[in-house]
């Protein structure tokens, strides 16, 4: 499993991903699930991945290769004129990669090589945009009605995102919110694990204004992790007490 | 989907279940998912169900039938000498019911008729006990290490249960906790719906000390549902602010 969240704010984009991969509970590793490409002053494009690791690494490597010799290769993330076309390309690459593995492995391959991705970024002259890419290669785009996407183990960390997200929030508050959401998920699902990767893409900067790895030694994350339990219990205690009806 | 929780406290057992069943999003109905049988002063046994409705109704009906003419029928919930044997019987009945539908429907039936159950209760002279019954007919029992079981759509409502459960809590606080957990689930998953059924089984009473249906008109539930969002946001605001490191 995996947990990644991409979020649109008025001020720009915030991304966070965990780094645990596992094939069974006795075979766990740390892999980065967040990649990005940038052209200073012109564009920044970030991708987060969930699903079969061979599939997602293959897609990221192909995207990377295309940027290395752009003259010889079509459809580099450096060349796409819009974020919509970047999402289209990533979707097509993802679908083809999954399809190829399934074809080679026949019936045994059914559903085994699937993956999902979040694509986020901005190209000069256009708005920051956020997409969720399905294994079938199609995708949806975030809007102010649905301003964040989660992939992987999405459920445990969703209630706090729904309740506390605010498009006008600062990047600092957004990172804090993501840490709470990730902490709830980490506590509930062993297949999501530290360290976390975090990236902030400020509007019209075309480079990560923050890009950090949050390890288990991160003091702020420890504070959140320890404090959120107490905060939740206090919130629970602050709600009015239940009384059984007298007539029961 | 469904959401049911059974919980052991020092004082006894607390159960809550939703009532929504759906076959597609355009075919939703209200069905009770909590049943119970009691012998005053001697035993009370409650069952909650999640999964294929025809399967779960069949199991409950068979349990009910056995109690009607106990002299002619074996293994009534009224006769089982221990809660362990009640769980064994329910498990066997569940497994047989699923197996029968699968056999009749062949390959088309694979995995379609599955269900999971929570069995809770107390028989005089013994402790209150709580079991989670799997579709395979086997089961696990709650302990103070794992003092509650959830079935159905378990993830959204789990973090608050983990953080706020306390074995010494009052029945009132336990009901409040369950309402918060159900509210988080209701807000996230359309296949879980009001009204809710709630039952409190006080130790050594052998009858429900509380048994209520909580509808969308329930004022307390409305208060919790409206207040929990604010409480969560306040809890979030109360955590220390994040600051980006200066050297980034």
The answer to whether B9 and B126 are in contact (CB under 8 A) is no
Per-residue confidence (pLDDT) for residue A247, from 0 to 100? 59
In a domain, A224, yes or no: yes
Confidence of residue B94 (pLDDT cuts 50, 70, 90): very high
Tell me if A212 and B239 make a contact (CB, 8 A cut-off): no
**CA B129 – CA B86 distance, rounded (Å):** 11
In a domain, A247, yes or no: no
In a domain, A245, yes or no: no
Compute the average pLDDT of residues A226-244: 93
Min Cα distance B90 → chain A (Å) is 29
Between A26-30, A118-122, B1-5, B49-53, the lowest mean confidence (pLDDT) is in A26-30
Per-residue confidence (pLDDT) for residue B76, from 0 to 100? 87
From B179, B187, B235, residue closest to A231, measured CB to CB: B235
Reply yes or no on whether the pLDDT at B33 is more than 70.
yes
User: Which residue spans within chain A are E strands per DSSP?
Assistant: 3-9, 12-17, 20-22, 28-30, 34-39, 43-51, 115-123, 129-133, 139-141, 148-152, 196-202, 210-214
Confidence of residue A186 (pLDDT cuts 50, 70, 90): very high
From A160, A242, A248, residue closest to B176, measured CB to CB: A242
CATH label of the domain that carries residue A57: 3.60.20.10
From B200, B211, B232, residue closest to A164, measured CB to CB: B232
The answer to whether B188 and B181 are in contact (CB under 8 A) is no
- Scanning B69-201, the segments in alpha helix (DSSP H) are 83-105, 158-164, 171-188
CA-CA distances (angstroms) from residue A178 to A21, A192, B162, B189? 20, 14, 20, 21
Per-residue confidence (pLDDT) for residue A102, from 0 to 100? 93
Confidence of residue A109 (pLDDT cuts 50, 70, 90): confident
Q: What is the distance in angstroms between the CA of the first residue and the CA of the last residue of chain A? A: 46
User: Pairing state of beta strands A43-51 and A115-123?
Assistant: antiparallel
Per-residue confidence (pLDDT) for residue B108, from 0 to 100? 84
In a domain, B243, yes or no: no
In a domain, A128, yes or no: yes
**CA B113 – CA B95 distance, rounded (Å):** 10
* Cα radius of gyration (chain A): 20
Reply yes or no on whether the pLDDT at B247 is more than 70.
no
In a domain, A243, yes or no: no
Reply yes or no on whether the pLDDT at B69 is more than 70.
yes
Per-residue confidence (pLDDT) for residue A122, from 0 to 100? 98
Angle between helices B171-188 and A219-238 (to 10 degrees): 110
Reply yes or no on whether the pLDDT at B35 is more than 80.
yes
The answer to whether A214 and A34 are in contact (CB under 8 A) is no
Reply yes or no on whether the pLDDT at B203 is more than 70.
yes
Compute the average pLDDT of residues A54-65: 95
Compute the average pLDDT of residues A35-40: 96
Confidence of residue B70 (pLDDT cuts 50, 70, 90): low
Total domains in chain B come to: 1
- Record the tokens describing residue A34, joined without a space: 């967040």
B54 touches chain A (CB under 8 A): no
Tell me if A159 and B159 make a contact (CB, 8 A cut-off): yes
Q: Chain A 167-186, CB below 8 Å of chain B: which residues?
A: 171-173, 175-177, 179-180, 184
Triad B223, B225, B230: Cα angle to 5°? 90
Per-residue confidence (pLDDT) for residue B100, from 0 to 100? 95
Give the structural domain span for B127. 3-238
Min Cα distance A167 → chain B (Å) is 14
Per-residue confidence (pLDDT) for residue B1, from 0 to 100? 85
Compute the average pLDDT of residues B2-10: 98
Compute the average pLDDT of residues A207-214: 96
A242 touches chain B (CB under 8 A): yes
Q: What is the pLDDT of residues A83-103, one digit of tens each?
A: 999 999 999 999 999 999 999
Per-residue confidence (pLDDT) for residue A246, from 0 to 100? 75
Reply yes or no on whether the pLDDT at A248 is more than 60.
no
Taking all residues of chain A, what is their mean pLDDT, rounded to a whole number? 94
How much is the ipTM here?
A: 0.86
Give percent of chain B with pLDDT exceeding 70.
Answer: 98
In a domain, A242, yes or no: no
Compute the average pLDDT of residues B70-77: 74
Q: What is the pLDDT of residues B148-186, one digit of tens each?
A: 999 999 999 999 999 999 999 999 999 999 999 999 999
Tell me if A242 and B175 make a contact (CB, 8 A cut-off): yes
In a domain, A244, yes or no: no
| Closest by CA position to B36, among listed B118, B150, B149, B153 | B118
Confidence of residue A107 (pLDDT cuts 50, 70, 90): confident
Per-residue confidence (pLDDT) for residue A180, from 0 to 100? 96
Mutate to test the interface with A, among B14, B153, B235 (most CBs of A within 10 A): B235
A124 touches chain B (CB under 8 A): no
Taking all residues of chain B, what is their mean pLDDT, rounded to a whole number? 94
């Amino acid at each position: 499993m995996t947990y990644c969240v991409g979020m649109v704010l008025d001020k720009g984009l915030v991304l966070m991903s965990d780094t645990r991969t596992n094939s069974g509970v006795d075979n766990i590793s740390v892999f980065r699930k967040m990649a990005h490409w940038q052209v200073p002053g012109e564009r920044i494009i970030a991708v987060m991945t969930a699903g079969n690791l061979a599939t997602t690494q293959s897609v990221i490597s192909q995207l990377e290769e295309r940027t290395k010799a752009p003259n010889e290769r079509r459809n580099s993330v450096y060349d796409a004129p819009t974020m919509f076309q970047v999402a289209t390309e990533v979707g097509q690459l993802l679908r083809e990669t999954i399809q190829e593995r399934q074809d080679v492995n026949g019936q045994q391959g059914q559903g085994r090589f699937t993956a999902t991705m979040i694509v986020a970024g901005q190209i000069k002259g256009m708005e920051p945009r956020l997409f969720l890419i399905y294994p079938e290669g199609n995708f949806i785009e975030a809007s102010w009605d649905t301003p964040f996407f989660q992939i992987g183990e999405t459920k445990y960390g969703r209630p706090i995102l729904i309740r506390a997200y605010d498009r006008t929030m600062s990047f600092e508050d957004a990172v804090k919110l993501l840490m709470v959401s990730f902490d709830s998920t980490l506590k509930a699902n062993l297949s999501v694990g530290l360290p976390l990767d975090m990236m902030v893409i400020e509007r019209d900067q075309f480079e990560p204004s923050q890009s950090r790895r949050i390890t288990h030694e991160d003091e702020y994350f420890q504070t959140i992790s320890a404090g959120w339990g107490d905060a939740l219990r206090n919130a629970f205690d602050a709600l009015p007490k239940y009384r059984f009806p007298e007539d029961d």
